[in-house]
Structure 1
Amino acid sequence: MSGSVLRVLVDDVRVFRDGREALLARTSAEALSLLRALDGRFVDELWLDHDLVGDDTVQPVVDHLVARAAAGEPLPVGRIYVHSANVRAGHRVNAELLAAGYPSRRSFVAGMWRHQWTA
């Protein structure tokens, strides 16, 4: 990824409409692997969708982030954006991250996405 912003997008079907670069994880397992590989690097933006492929959700990623914070080693992140269309789950995820001390907020900007399905 070129440029100075390290952006991670965890979403099963969306990409940024404006083409901004992001490291992409489509499942919670991919997201956990990616975050572990980046360990120690500052992540400028972490974008989290709740409902992923099939029965998968972002909850394992949230649990990982909360556990890191509880251990005194939170992920170094500038901002976490919870952009899930699942309103209840999105609010819950955001509340969990805020309670753990992360700079998290809900993002409701629906027009910033385009869908990109993979076979």
Structure 2
Amino acid sequence: MSTSEARVLLVDDLRSFVDGRDAEVARTSAAGVRLLEHYRDRSLDELWLDHDLGEEDTIWPVVEVLERAAFAGRPFDVGLINIHSANPAGAARMARALRRWGYRVAIAAESAEVGYLDGPT
């Protein structure tokens, strides 16, 4: 990866970046945890998080990894965490938890950057 390429991770069960930008995508919380751990000692430009990941799955296992790392004094190096969930209560709770640990967070619930490429299923 060249230094000019952004490192972007997206954790969302259905949506993708509508502009086709280069990003690594996880569709479940377990895959999100694995992807985040893969980048443990590297900087990320953006981390995009959805709250509800289908069935009974939510983003909380990923949030907990971020929290534990910060608690241990080794927070993940993330430029900006974008919360793009359509669940306002879940998004607010995620933002509070992550900001508490010093992460830079934006709530992007109405972001046109992520969407259903083939329409919602």
Whether the TM-score (by the shorter chain) exceeds 0.5 is yes
In the alignment, what sits opposite 2:86?
A: 85
- Mapping of 1:1-119 within 5 angstroms? 4-116=5-117
Q: Is the 8 A contact 2:18 2:117 kept in 1?
A: no
Give SS of 1:111's match. coil
AA aligned to 1:51 is D
Query: How far 1:20 sits from its partner (Å)?
Result: 1.1
Aligned mates of 1:99, 1:56 — CA distance in 2? 23
AA aligned to 2:116 is H
C-alpha RMSD of the superposition: 1.5
Which range moved further: 1-10 or 40-49? Answer: 1-10
Aligned length: 117
Q: Is the 8 A contact 2:47 2:78 kept in 1?
A: yes
Instruction: Give the TM-score normalised by the residue count of structure 1.
Output: 0.91
Aligned mates of 2:104, 2:66 — CA distance in 1? 12
Deviating above 6 A after TM superposition, structure 1's stretches of 4 or more consecutive aligned residues are none
Q: Which runs of 5+ in 2 are unaligned?
A: none
Give SS of 1:47's match. strand
Aligned mates of 1:114, 1:81 — CA distance in 2? 14
Q: Which runs of 5+ in 1 are unaligned?
A: none
Query: How far 1:116 sits from its partner (Å)?
Result: 4.5
Query: How far 1:37 sits from its partner (Å)?
Result: 1.2
Query: How far 1:4 sits from its partner (Å)?
Result: 1.4
Instruction: Give the TM-score normalised by the residue count of structure 2.
Output: 0.90
